[in-house]
Chain A
């Protein structure tokens, strides 16, 4: 816990160096950082108490850090310069980042981590959020399609019993 507090303190100071260059809601940004570190610590906790095996530990760690890092870099850093307030641009970025994310998962898979998690998760939650974004169904269909195509690659290398994810395509 002490280590955690020191880390947060350092991060806060580190963050203050960039104050002004990144336009964020500072309170929300600090809280989101704390949340991500708490999550990462909980992953580490599970690993040292042998609830998670090494590959699961790597998978979750990769997941949290990459997900947050990717989102931050695409939305905050981009937002600091000449970033349009147009949601279309954001949605574009969102789908592109999702595609990058799937490809990174794919790399992880080929690096030896079994079941890098993403294919089996397409389901109810996915449908819910896509329907919330349902205003842009054409975009969902055409751009999200490529993410599913990447997942097809998993199908050839994984033992998938549940073909709903394919039908969902």
Chain B
């Protein structure tokens, strides 16, 4: 009874949040928990998400051009004038691509937190956030890797990706759950600047998951796995 009450509460909250990505990811998360894939599927699925992160914006722009003007595009838009739809994100990302099209030393180490301000991207996107005149500078570029490039540059972003690839949850009996959780956060990074310090609580959860992923495989668990295999 309590289970269904909580389920309804979460469903209601998701609808009230008016966030399509949260709804999609929640459904995917739920499927990942219910369907029993082999552990390797979760591990390689997670790694695939990490490896796809740098290419995420290119994929999105490609999809955007394919869907341009079609029914599918209007289906993913919240309304005609909404500026934060999938299609309009590509305009914001385009401004970042412009900055990074010619090499500069700043690109190596980034422009610091809120890199969109120092890099001039915020000014270029000023018109998009015209309704939010006061805080357009604080608007992120709605993509984890692009925001990462702006903030900490190529070097920092490289360390970020390698750190993610070095994580494993093999030591845990709940590895599938942990892969799914961290994977879901990174998938959200395709359309949002998360998990970054701009979303503080989410960043904290991210750090906790990273820390859990730092633990090596315990000898007992490794033995148990080899015994199970043999």
| A40 CB, nearest partner CB in chain B, Å | 10
For chain B residues 197-221, which have a beta carbon within 8 Å of chain A? Answer: 197, 199-205, 207-208, 210-216, 218, 221
Point out the residues of chain A lying under 8 angstroms from B151, CB to CB.
Answer: 39, 42
Point out the residues of chain A lying under 8 angstroms from B136, CB to CB.
Answer: none
B216 touches A24 (CB 8 A): yes
A46 touches B17 (CB 8 A): no
B200 touches A117 (CB 8 A): yes
Q: Which stretch of B63-71, B124-132, B173-181 is in the interface?
A: B173-181
For chain A residues 18-59, which have a beta carbon within 8 Å of chain B? Answer: 23-25, 27-29, 31-32, 34-35, 38-39, 41-47, 49, 51-52
Given contacts A35-B156, A132-B181, contact A28 B214 (CB under 8 A): yes
A71 touches B204 (CB 8 A): yes
B118 touches A51 (CB 8 A): yes
Interface SS of chain A: helix, strand, loop or mixed? helix
A129 touches B113 (CB 8 A): no
Point out the residues of chain A lying under 8 angstroms from B160, CB to CB.
Answer: 35
Point out the residues of chain B lying under 8 angstroms from A128, CB to CB.
Answer: 21-22, 25-26, 29, 184-185, 188
B30 touches A131 (CB 8 A): yes
* Residues of B in contact with A, size category: 35 or more
Cα separation A64 to B204 with both chains bound (whole Å): 8
Residue interface bits B8-44, CB-to-A below 8 A is 1, else 0: 0110111011010110011001101100000000000
B185 touches A87 (CB 8 A): no
Residue of A nearest to B32 (CB): A132
Cα separation A85 to B13 with both chains bound (whole Å): 32
Cα separation A63 to B204 with both chains bound (whole Å): 8
**A109 sits at the interface (CB 8 A):** no
Point out the residues of chain B lying under 8 angstroms from A110, CB to CB.
Answer: none
| B176 CB, nearest partner CB in chain A, Å | 10
B208 touches A71 (CB 8 A): yes
For chain A residues 80-127, which have a beta carbon within 8 Å of chain B? Answer: 85-87, 90, 94, 97-98, 101, 117-118, 121-127
B216 touches A25 (CB 8 A): yes
B113 touches A79 (CB 8 A): no
| B114 CB, nearest partner CB in chain A, Å | 5
Give 19 new A-B contacts, CB below 8 A, not counting A122-B201, A129-B202, A131-B25.
A25-B167, A28-B214, A31-B159, A31-B166, A38-B152, A44-B112, A45-B111, A52-B113, A64-B197, A90-B212, A118-B201, A123-B17, A123-B19, A124-B192, A129-B184, A135-B177, A137-B7, A137-B10, A141-B6
Query: Which 9 A-B residue pairs are closest in the complex by CB-CB distance?
Result: A45-B112, A46-B112, A124-B19, A31-B163, A124-B22, A131-B26, A125-B202, A137-B6, A46-B113
